[in-house]
A and B are shown apart, each in its own frame.
Chain A
Amino acid sequence: MNDWRYDPAHDLGLQTNQRHRSTLRESDLTSSVLRLGWLMTVRTILKCWNRLEIHGLENLPAQPPFVIVANHSSHLDTVVLASALSLRWRDHVSPLAAGDYFFATPPLAGFSAVILNALPIWRDRRHGQRHELGDLRERLMNQSAIYIVFPEGSRSRDGQLHEFRPGFATLVAGTAIPVLPCHLSGSFAAMPPDANAVRPRKIILQIGTPLTFETVANRAEGWRQVAAVIRDKIVALSACELPSRKFHPRHWGEKLLLIARFSRLLLRRRLRSLAGFGGTFRSQGCCWKFELGGRPLSQPMSGKVLSINTSSASADKVTVK
């Protein structure tokens, strides 16, 4: 009979705020359930509002640990990448986030830690924190973690891919941990750095084939080599042509999605031109023709919208001069 072995929480003895900022943090049932709700909500919103399209899911390893490296131009990038993964892995997925931004205040640190499961990287040495990449590397190898890394260091202000900071490569250099280069397009248009709301722009995520850097030395020159290889892969992903996807609404979720998109388009058309409901609705390879209301498309009503009764959201309440 073996002796009982206790394995206390690695963050035992830390105050709540310290725990949120610690790389030793472990998930408990409450945070796991909250994270599940968050990811399910975000997934639904991204699918409906941003028509999220994911290519290359077959490239995901069967089990953690692995590292996802992507271009970064929007706050949406983290949630898009996290929502592409299986919900079973929700407690393993940790975006590496700027400590001075995402962990600046206790409420923000709480959100980043509990909901996003983010781990802090301190960019500012004056903050009194040292880079904790060594601890993160250890955590990656020992706790089956999945890291989401944006090596550009910050969000791109012009939507273009910038140079990578090679420091992140210390996480994987000299290990057999797979690295997945990913490319995100559309997230900049959906939510650029100066925006406060998410626009309904299409987002496409491309997941590349996994790379390993077992033979690369865990030194500065090795890190630069890793960063260059991964950057090249992401550039190649951004250039490759995507296969067109057919949209066949078979399941109830897809049908609901179709109805939501149709309603949105209908409302937009109605407000733009009061000639009547009619037009074509294109979505992912399919074309839907529709005409409602009896007003022919060829005779649009000319005029100017003066006011809209938003409380009823009814097109009949639109006043036209």
Chain B
Amino acid sequence: MNSATWQQLFGWRTAFDHPVTVGAVTGILAALAIAPLAIHALSRFNVISPKLHEELWLRWKSWLWLTAVMVGPILLGAAWVMIAVAVLSWFCFQEFARATGLFREFPIIAVVMVGIFALLIANVDHCDRMYFSLAALTSGVIAVVTLPENRPQGYLQRVALGIVGFLLFGYSIGYLGLMANDSRYRPLLILVLLSVELNDIFAFCVGKFFGSRRLLSNISPGKTVVGSVGALVLTTGLVIWMGKSIFAGTAMENYFSLLKLGLLISLLGQLGDLILSAIKRDIGVKDLGVCIAGHGGWLDRFDSLVLVPPAVYHFLSYELGPLGQDQAARIFTGG
């Protein structure tokens, strides 16, 4: 491994080299600092109820460590991002498995665990072909692994749940790790994470103040058409604003490409949210977990992230050429 590759994987000294990273981290820290004052002020002037005040406090406290967990690995180096993404994938899949009852199928869980680990290896090794092949290979193994049990009852259900769980929460979220092989991974990942999380907030706020017509009342009664359109506009604007700096001097610099990227992130972010809402309604549970106070589980927090990373990766690869092509490939396996 040469020094450039080492820097890419573990080089934390270059964390604040890009102005977008500096600006975004400063902005996030400022928002976290101002939030308790704002909550206190709103409560003081009776704008929010004591119950909402309590809930906002809980959410703010959760955001403190969530920010550290999300931004920390990005600043520390690409290898930490890949590990964090694999851990997030596993947590999300576990919540899905517990909610659907799939967790009782040990062979399928073991295959998905190995699949997520293999995705991590592919990311760290920067072996894109291995990464792409794992979708088909792992799905195939999931279909085969329970055959020796000689139990056809419920076969289709458990295999389908296993494959859907792996593709959505292992393979799809794992693309964030694949993006970490690009030299601009820090601002790029901050752009994706920030725009996806703010997309949720934009939809909620705009919907709360201006919305009345429900978007999909059976799947998610809280979402409105106006909120969705508002999020689309605001998130796209944010992506264009940040993207101008991140992609300066590349084919992505023009407004039309950034507009497409913004729409893609906002639309898929909202669709990911709706997918998880549909799953929750189908199973009949409100939250898929309880580990993040005020939010629910990992999937309740990161549901919008499920569809975005592969779309962004392939869109940028289409516009700019394969992401990470300027970095060493197959770092450990050679070739």
Residues of A within 8 A of B (CB): 4, 6-9, 12-16, 26, 28-29, 32
- Asked if residues A13 and B285 are in contact (CB atoms below 8 Å), the reply is yes
**Chain B residues whose CB sits within 8 angstroms of the CB of A14 once the complex forms:** 290
Q: Does B69 contact A (CB under 8 A)?
A: no
Q: With A4-B157, A6-B101, A29-B106 given, can you name 6 additional A-B contacts, CB distance below 8 Å? A: A6-B283, A8-B100, A8-B285, A12-B99, A12-B285, A15-B291
- Asked if residues A29 and B113 are in contact (CB atoms below 8 Å), the reply is yes
**Chain A residues whose CB sits within 8 angstroms of the CB of B109 once the complex forms:** 28-29
**Chain A residues whose CB sits within 8 angstroms of the CB of B100 once the complex forms:** 6, 8
Of B99, B113, B291, most buried by chain A (CB within 10 Å of CB) is B99
A6 to B287, CA, bound (A): 15
- Asked if residues B113 and A12 are in contact (CB atoms below 8 Å), the reply is no
**Chain A residues whose CB sits within 8 angstroms of the CB of B40 once the complex forms:** none
Q: What are 25 A-B residue pairs whose CB atoms fall within 8 Å in the complex?
A: A4-B157, A6-B100, A6-B282, A6-B283, A7-B101, A8-B98, A8-B101, A8-B283, A8-B285, A9-B101, A12-B98, A12-B99, A13-B285, A13-B287, A13-B290, A15-B290, A16-B291, A26-B103, A28-B94, A28-B98, A28-B103, A28-B109, A29-B106, A29-B110, A32-B106
CB A241 to nearest CB in B, in angstroms, measures 43
Q: How many residues of B contact A (CB 8 A)?
A: 19
CB B166 to nearest CB in A, in angstroms, measures 14
**Chain B residues whose CB sits within 8 angstroms of the CB of A8 once the complex forms:** 98-101, 283, 285
B144-156 vs A, Cβ < 8 Å mask (1 yes, 0 no):
0000000000000
Of B94, B104, B291, most buried by chain A (CB within 10 Å of CB) is B104
B129-160 vs A, Cβ < 8 Å mask (1 yes, 0 no):
00000000000000000000000000001000
Of all chain A residues, the one with the shortest Cβ separation from B279 is A6
Please name the 9 residue pairs, one residue from A and one from B, whose CB atoms are nearest each other, closest first: A7-B101, A9-B98, A29-B109, A6-B283, A29-B106, A28-B103, A8-B99, A4-B157, A6-B100
Q: Which of B268-307 contact A (CB under 8 A)?
A: 282-285, 287, 290-291
Q: Which of B75-127 contact A (CB under 8 A)?
A: 94, 98-101, 103-104, 106, 109-110, 113
A179 to B110, CA, bound (A): 35
CB A147 to nearest CB in B, in angstroms, measures 20
**Chain A residues whose CB sits within 8 angstroms of the CB of B101 once the complex forms:** 6-9
- Asked if residues B110 and A9 are in contact (CB atoms below 8 Å), the reply is no
